[in-house]
Amino acid sequence: MIHILDTRQLGRPGIIAATALETSDGLALFDTGPESTFGTITGELHLLGAAPADVRHVFLSHIHFDHAGAAWQFAELGATVYVHPRGARHLLDPRKLIESATRIFGAEMERLWGRVGPIPQERLRILEDNEQVQLGSVEVRAIATPGHASHHHIYHWDDCVFGGDVAGVRIGGGPAIPPFVPPELQVEDWLQSIDKIRVLEPARLYLPHFGVVENGVGAHLDALEERVRRWSQWFLEQLRAGRDPSQLVPAFADYEAADLLAGGATQEEVEDYERADPSHMAVTAALRYWPKFHPEAIGAGGV
Ligand SMILES: [Zn+2]
């Protein structure tokens, strides 16, 4: 059985999920949500007749706080936390991660994400690309899938994939969009990662933001790929035209909102997309990506 646990971060449903899989080796969680919603997830587990200590395995797609923030709480209760090799040191010692997030979120840090503590070495297990973990009769395989973050894994078991952020954000009746965030956005990697999900042909694709895609995983991935290409191209054109970065934030917010509405989202859902994946982050991400990987594409002078 698989359960989608809603963190209801800041009181809003349907934005950030933790996904729970029942196995004969205890509960496995795919992402935990932020630490600020550990209590909510505890309540959701109780509704399933379980307690936080019944979570024996925590598979992290990546270490951003909305996905991994509560992992250390489960580790304190004895769970093993699985992570990409490049994410491990920040879980062992989260101080740098907290510093860089504090630069972005400032005084909002605690309200948004809660407290972040270290995970002891003995509770942490690094998974290499294609490494498998046997949980009773279920075999969970990690697949390296950079693009959104360099240290991103998806997880594959049976006919299911837990897609993390590289598999896109899809809220309510809205379309699949790529969460472009700094500092590791890499468009070519992202496209390859989408192909890696495609070849698995999953029947169900679980999204941290938000829920499950069934009957239409292929169409979801096609729509996601189209936006990875078109949105990154939109940013390139803006840079080529010499648009000022400060103008890009409202310009992209408008561009994205129009795209979401055209893709079937309601006005309220547009605001939920913004909560799950703030549009200004895409601007910062793209302003870093293009000059770093394709300075020649921007044209003489660069940025
Ligand atoms: Zn993320």
Residues 155-212: tens digit of each pLDDT: 999 999 999 999 999 999 999 999 999 999 999 999 999 999 999 999 999 999 999 9
**What is the percentage of the chain residues whose pLDDT exceeds 90?**
92
Q: How far is the CA of 299 from the centre of ligand 1 (A)?
A: 30
Compute the average pLDDT of residues 249-274. 97
Q: How far is the CA of 155 from the centre of ligand 1 (A)?
A: 15
Compute the average pLDDT of residues 219-243. 97
Contact between 67 and 165 (Cβ < 8 Å): yes
pTM > 0.85: yes or no: yes
**What is the percentage of the chain residues whose pLDDT exceeds 70?**
99
Q: What is the pLDDT of residue 104?
A: 82
Q: How far is the CA of 158 from the centre of ligand 1 (A)?
A: 25
* Structure-block tokens of residue 229: 């290409």
Q: How far is the CA of 186 from the centre of ligand 1 (A)?
A: 13
Q: How far is the CA of 258 from the centre of ligand 1 (A)?
A: 23
For strands 204-207 and 211-214, give the pairing: antiparallel
- Stretch among 6-10, 12-16, 97-101 having the lowest mean pLDDT: 97-101
Cα dihedral sign, 264-266-272-274: positive
Q: How far is the CA of 149 from the centre of ligand 1 (A)?
A: 7
Compute the average pLDDT of residues 261-267. 97
pLDDT digits (tens, 9 = 90+) for 109-152: 889 999 999 999 999 999 999 999 999 999 999 999 999 999 99
Q: What is the pLDDT of residue 101?
A: 85
Residue located via tokens 């703030």: 278
Q: How far is the CA of 209 from the centre of ligand 1 (A)?
A: 10
Q: How far is the CA of 52 from the centre of ligand 1 (A)?
A: 23
Q: How far is the CA of 148 from the centre of ligand 1 (A)?
A: 7
Q: How far is the CA of 208 from the centre of ligand 1 (A)?
A: 9
Q: What is the pLDDT of residue 245?
A: 87
Spatial CB neighbours of 123, under 8 Å, sequence gap ≥ 6: 75, 78, 79, 80, 81
* Structure-block tokens of residue 257: 């909102």
How far apart, in whole angstroms, are the C-alpha atoms of residue 68 and residue 95? 14
Q: How far is the CA of 301 from the centre of ligand 1 (A)?
A: 32
Mean pLDDT of the chain: 96
